[in-house]
C-alpha cells in the first residue's frame, strides 16, 4: 500500500523535484521550513496543480501519468487547508451536508459520530461568519471527513485552535488512522505533534526531499536529529500500586519511569505508549543521584554526539536497550563529565515534560 509521487514543478526560487514512495496507510507527516514546497507538494498530490509529466499513484489507482489525469473529486481526497473554505451563505449543517450528500457508499464515518467528535452540535445552525477561526477549521475538518475520503490531506488544519483543542484533534487523527484505516498526509509546523502521532516523516528543503522514513528512526538520523532534537520512545504501562492514582508507571527498556497520570487516559497493563521527548528535557550525570527533583533516571550508553544549533551545546545520542534517546547538553558538560562513545551515563527525564505527551501507540 503506497503513494508514489514523481514531479518536477518550477516554483519561484527552485524546482519542486520529488521522487518518493510513501506509505498509503497511517499518518505521514511532511515537515520543512516555511517556503520549502510542502503546500505545493500537497497540491500536486491532490491534482489541484495539473502538472505535465508528473506521476501520482495511490495504492492500485493511477491518479496521474503521462496519459492520465484524475481530477480531485475522482481521487476521493479529503482536503483541509489552513484557511477553511466554507460556503459563507450556508449554515454549518448545510456546509457539512454538502460533503455528506456527495459521499460514496458505504459511509464508514458516521454523521453523528463526526459531529460529536468535532464538537459541532452547538453550532450547526450558525453561519461561518459567526464562528471563530478555530471553529471554522473544525467545521472544514468535519466536512472533509463526512465526504468519506480514501486519503486525507491536511495542511496545518488546526493552526487556529488553542493548545487543548489542538491536542485533542491531533490524538483524534491517530484514532481515525487506527479505527477507520484512513491514511493521511499531514503538513504541520508543530514538530512535537508530528513526532507524537505520525508513523512516517518526510522532510522537504528547497523543493527536495532531504529525509524520509518511519518517524522513530527518521528522528534519529541526519538531518532530522540535528534539526528537531526530539526522540520518540515506546514504553509499556505497568500496574499501579494501590493508592497511587495520580501517577502512571511505565517500563522503558526494562527500567521504570513515573509520570503524572493524564486524566483522560485509562491504560491497561502492558499497553504500549509513545513518549515524545525533547532533547532539551533530558540531562545527564555519570551516577544516579538521590537529591534531585527528577525521579526518572535511566541507565544508558552514549552512542554518538553531534553539534546542536547553539555552538556552545551538543546533542548526545543515547541507547536504552534497542531504543534511542537524544539529550541536549553544553559542550562544557560533555568535557566535565568526560563523555565519549561507549560511556555509561544516567539520563534524567523531567516527568512534567512527559505527561503531556503520552499516547497509545498504533
Ligand X SMILES: Nc1ncnc2c1ncn2[C@@H]1O[C@H](COP(=O)(O)OP(=O)(O)OP(=O)(O)O)[C@@H](O)[C@H]1O
Q: Which residues would be at the binding site for ligand X (CB under 6 A)?
A: 11-13, 32, 34-40
DSSP letter at 316 equals E
* Gap between the Cα atoms of 216 and 231, Å rounded: 7
* Gap between the Cα atoms of 356 and 353, Å rounded: 7
Q: Which is nearer to ligand X, 40 or 95 (CB)?
A: 40
What minimum distance in Å lies between the beta carbon of 154 and ligand X?
12
Pairing of strands 27-31, 184-187: parallel
Residue with cell 516554483: 11
Phi then psi for 20, rounded to 5 degrees? -145, 150
Q: Which residues, in sequence order, are bridge partners of residue 78?
A: 152
What minimum distance in Å lies between the beta carbon of 5 and ligand X?
14
What minimum distance in Å lies between the beta carbon of 31 and ligand X?
9
Helix, strand, or coil here: 230?
strand
Q: Which is nearer to ligand X, 32 or 99 (CB)?
A: 32
What minimum distance in Å lies between the beta carbon of 12 and ligand X?
4
Q: Which is nearer to ligand X, 36 or 64 (CB)?
A: 36
What minimum distance in Å lies between the beta carbon of 241 and ligand X?
47
* Gap between the Cα atoms of 249 and 251, Å rounded: 7
Q: Which is nearer to ligand X, 11 or 289 (CB)?
A: 11
Q: Which is nearer to ligand X, 201 or 279 (CB)?
A: 201
What distance lies between CA 46 and its chain's CA centroid? 20
What minimum distance in Å lies between the beta carbon of 206 and ligand X?
9
What minimum distance in Å lies between the beta carbon of 14 and ligand X?
7
Q: Which is nearer to ligand X, 33 or 110 (CB)?
A: 33
Q: Which is nearer to ligand X, 16 or 273 (CB)?
A: 16
- Helices and strands in the chain, H and E counts: 11, 21
* Gap between the Cα atoms of 328 and 227, Å rounded: 12
145 touches 78 (CB < 8 A): yes
Q: Which is nearer to ligand X, 12 or 243 (CB)?
A: 12
Backbone φ/ψ region at 174: left (φ over 0), alpha (ψ -120 to 50), beta: alpha
What minimum distance in Å lies between the beta carbon of 76 and ligand X?
23
155 touches 81 (CB < 8 A): yes
∠43-134-200 over CA atoms, to 5°?
Answer: 45
CB atoms closer than 10 angstroms to residue 227: 18
* Gap between the Cα atoms of 172 and 321, Å rounded: 31
What minimum distance in Å lies between the beta carbon of 43 and ligand X?
8
Helix, strand, or coil here: 157?
coil
Q: Which is nearer to ligand X, 18 or 327 (CB)?
A: 18
Amino acid at each position: 500500500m503506497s503513494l508514489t509521487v514523481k514531479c518536477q514543478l518550477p516554483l519561484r526560487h527552485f524546482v519542486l523535484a520529488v521522487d518518493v514512495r510513501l506509505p498509503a496507510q497511517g499518518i505521514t507527516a511532511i515537515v520543512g521550513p516555511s517556503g520549502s514546497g510542502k503546500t505545493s507538494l500537497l497540491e500536486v498530490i491532490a491534482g489541484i496543480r495539473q502538472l505535465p509529466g508528473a506521476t501520482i499513484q495511490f495504492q492500485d489507482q493511477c491518479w496521474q501519468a503521462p496519459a492520465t489525469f484524475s481530477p480531485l473529486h475522482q481521487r476521493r481526497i479529503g482536503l483541509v487547508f489552513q484557511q477553511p473554505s466554507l460556503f459563507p451563505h450556508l449554515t454549518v449543517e448545510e456546509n457539512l451536508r454538502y460533503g455528506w450528500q456527495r459521499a460514496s457508499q458505504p459511509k464508514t464515518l458516521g454523521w453523528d459520530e463526526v459531529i460529536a467528535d468535532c464538537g459541532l452540535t452547538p453550532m450547526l445552525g450558525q453561519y461561518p461568519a459567526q464562528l471563530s477561526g478555530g471553529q471554522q477549521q473544525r467545521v472544514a475538518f468535519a466536512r472533509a471527513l463526512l465526504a468519506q475520503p480514501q486519503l486525507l490531506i491536511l495542511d496545518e488544519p488546526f493552526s487556529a485552535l488553542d493548545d487543548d483543542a489542538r491536542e485533542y484533534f491531533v490524538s483524534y487523527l491517530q484514532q481515525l488512522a487506527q479505527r477507520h484505516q484512513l491514511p493521511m498526509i499531514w503538513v504541520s509546523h508543530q514538530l512535537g505533534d508530528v513526532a507524537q502521532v505520525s508513523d512516517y516523516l518526510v522532510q522537504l528543503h528547497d523543493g527536495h526531499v532531504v529525509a524520509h522514513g518511519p518517524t522513530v528512526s527518521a528522528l534519529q538520523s541526519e538531518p532530522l536529529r540535528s534539526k528537531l532534537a526530539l526522540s520518540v520512545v515506546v514504553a509499556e504501562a505497568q500496574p499501579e500500586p494501590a493508592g497511587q492514582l495520580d501517577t502512571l508507571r511505565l517500563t522503558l527498556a526494562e527500567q521504570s519511569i513515573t509520570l503524572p497520570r493524564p486524566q483522560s487516559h485509562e491504560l491497561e497493563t502492558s499497553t504500549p505508549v509513545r513518549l515524545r521527548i525533547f532533547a532539551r528535557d533530558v540531562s545527564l550525570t555519570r551516577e544516579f543521584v538521590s537529591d534531585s527533583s527528577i525521579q526518572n533516571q535511566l541507565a544508558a550508553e552514549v552512542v554518538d554526539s553531534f553539534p546542536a544549533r547553539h555552538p556552545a551545546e551538543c546533542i548526545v545520542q543515547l541507547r536504552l536497550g534497542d531504543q534511542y534517546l537524544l539529550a541536549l547538553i553544553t559542550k562544557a558538560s560533555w568535557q566535565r563529565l568526560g563523555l565519549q562513545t561507549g560511556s555509561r551515563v544516567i539520563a534524567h527525564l523531567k516527568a512534567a515534560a512527559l505527561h503531556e505527551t503520552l499516547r497509545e501507540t498504533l
